[in-house]
Amino acid sequence: MTSAPTASQGLAGTAHEPDDSGHFGRWGGRFMPEALIAAVDEVAAEYEKARRDPAFLAELDRLQRDYAGRPSPVTDARRLAEHAGGARILLKREDLNHTGSHKINNVLGQALLTKRMGKTRVIAETGAGQHGVATATAAALLGLDCVVYMGEVDTERQALNVARMRLLGAEVVPVTTGSRTLKDALNEAYRDWVASVGHTHYILGTAAGPHPFPRMVRDFHRVIGLEAREQVLAAYGRLPDAVVACVGGGSNAIGIFHPFLDDEGVRLVGFEAAGEGVESGRHAASITGGSPGALHGAMSYLLQDDDGQTLETHSISAGLDYPGVGPEHAYLADSGRATYEPVTDAEAMDAFRLLCRTEGIIPAIESAHAIAGAVRMGPRLVAEVGPDAEPPLILVNLSGRGDKDVDTAARWFGVVDPESLPTEEPPPGTDAQTGEREL
């Protein structure tokens, strides 16, 4: 038995890096105010030093192991797989990390970096509240002041996480401008940072924003894919046929995709939030339904109107309700190395219920988009390999757990009387959009 890859190995550098100013091909870069350039330069320089500093790397590994609980296991989801047309579904259990999602991987790294830079305060944006909770947690652990910006709409739909952040000692600022969701929280975080940059680090929560964030955040999350690749090889003697993840800004997806980039036979698929359907206009599928543009610091795919105004987005999942996506995903989409598909609210909620009932795992609604995608892909992959071949392996990043979503789910399914709960699962292949909402 070799020991599991560690978080620090994610920082080692790869054959797939942006150029020195953060461009992945025509994507990425720095579309941002001059006032913040010095700050991102400082972050980039400090990150370069840190990722070569054995003491930093050892501390990161220690925290990821002893505090966050890495490595996270891979679960063979056999009862779920019965709904996936004969494919095998393997869940990378980021939901079991401390604080309940993958977000802690990035936050511990950036919080340690904050200390190295001698800064005493951190700020963050959050949608689902998972990044905010992770940031509040790391701030408590390392003795940093913490302010989290969160759209007012999201403070309501993710109220549990607002309470968690406050219990952890963070200040949560509800943002009332614009659509009052994740994009507006980012705007407010930038506004804070311009005025506070002397003593404050902005712990950006996804693999987006100006250079070096897309690369650095990705590196802190690469441990997901590094571990999973070894785990799948060890357990099944081969690589997965497909690696799938939900895509909001793209951090959990790039973290699990990246270590597989050179494995040509491994298909990489990201699932974007299609809300009420891409054709309805009420969605958050930036790659599927967007066009090139610059928002929040980077060139990438963006949901915008003909004048370049950011469009209002919709997703039942607060963490995916964002009009942009990290630039490396735009690059991977263009090159064809990864593909991106939409998953509607209804499909995600069906998958949410399915995972609850077949595996005893309540997923984050974000992650339920990936589950829906895997279940949808299963029959396709089985058809490709043929009925006599070994069942295809689909590795799913289960990016977070669903405690925060219990209210939303209860409302969606209209949960009232436990007596009335149906006992039968919908048979495999049933149309995911039957509109059934009872739990």
Binding site for ligand PLP (CB under 6 A): 101, 127-128, 130-131, 206, 246-253, 319-320, 364, 366-367, 399-400
Burial class of residue 34 (count of CB atoms within 10 Å of its CB; 0-12, 13-18, 19+): exposed
CB of 158 to ligand PLP, least distance (A): 9
- The closest alpha carbon to 185, from 127, 145, 137, 130, belongs to 127
Mapping DSSP to helix (H, G, I), strand (E, B) and coil, where does residue 181 land?
Answer: coil
Which residues contact other proteins by CB under 8 A?
A: 21, 29-39, 41, 177-178, 183, 187, 190-191, 194-195, 197-198, 291-296, 302, 304, 306-310
Pick one of other proteins, ligand PLP, none as the site partner of residue 335 (Cβ within 5 to 8 A by kind): none
**Is there a catalytic annotation at residue 103?**
yes
Pick one of other proteins, ligand PLP, none as the site partner of residue 251 (Cβ within 5 to 8 A by kind): ligand PLP
Rounded-to-integer distance, Cα 116 and Cα 109, Å: 11
- Sheet of 121-126, strands arranged across: 171-175, 145-151, 121-126, 200-202
Pick one of ligand PLP, other proteins, none as the site partner of residue 35 (Cβ within 5 to 8 A by kind): other proteins
Pick 183 or 404: Cβ nearer other proteins: 183
| Helices and strands: H and E segment counts in the chain | 15, 14
A 10 A CB-CB count for 1 gives 4
**Is there a catalytic annotation at residue 317?**
no
Pick one of other proteins, ligand PLP, none as the site partner of residue 29 (Cβ within 5 to 8 A by kind): other proteins
Pick one of ligand PLP, other proteins, none as the site partner of residue 400 (Cβ within 5 to 8 A by kind): ligand PLP
Which H or E element spans position 89? strand 88-93
Length of the chain: 439
Pick 40 or 112: Cβ nearer other proteins: 40
CB of 286 to ligand PLP, least distance (A): 11
Q: Give the rounded distance of the alpha carbon of 347 from its chain centre.
A: 18
- The closest alpha carbon to 123, from 209, 215, 47, 192, belongs to 192
Answer whether 256's CB lies under 8 Å from 243's CB.
yes
CB of 137 to ligand PLP, least distance (A): 14
Burial class of residue 49 (count of CB atoms within 10 Å of its CB; 0-12, 13-18, 19+): exposed
Say if residue 428 is preceded by a cis peptide, omega within 30 of 0.
no
AA identity, residue 348: A
Query: What are 338's two structure tokens?
Result: 């990864």
**Is there a catalytic annotation at residue 125?**
yes
Which residue is catalytic, options 92, 103, 119, 404? 103
Answer whether 394's CB lies under 8 Å from 266's CB.
no
AA identity, residue 384: E
Pick 60 or 253: Cβ nearer ligand PLP: 253
CB of 410 to ligand PLP, least distance (A): 18
Is residue 317 left, alpha or beta, with left meaning phi > 0 and alpha meaning psi from -120 to 50?
Answer: beta
Mapping DSSP to helix (H, G, I), strand (E, B) and coil, where does residue 180 land?
Answer: coil
Query: What are 261's two structure tokens?
Result: 């980039």
Pick 35 or 234: Cβ nearer other proteins: 35
Pick 32 or 68: Cβ nearer other proteins: 32
CB of 73 to other proteins, least distance (A): 40
Pick 259 or 319: Cβ nearer ligand PLP: 319
Query: What are 310's two structure tokens?
Result: 């950011």
AA identity, residue 93: R
Which residue is catalytic, options 72, 92, 101, 125? 125
Pick 192 or 272: Cβ nearer ligand PLP: 272
Enumerate the active-site residues.
103, 125, 399
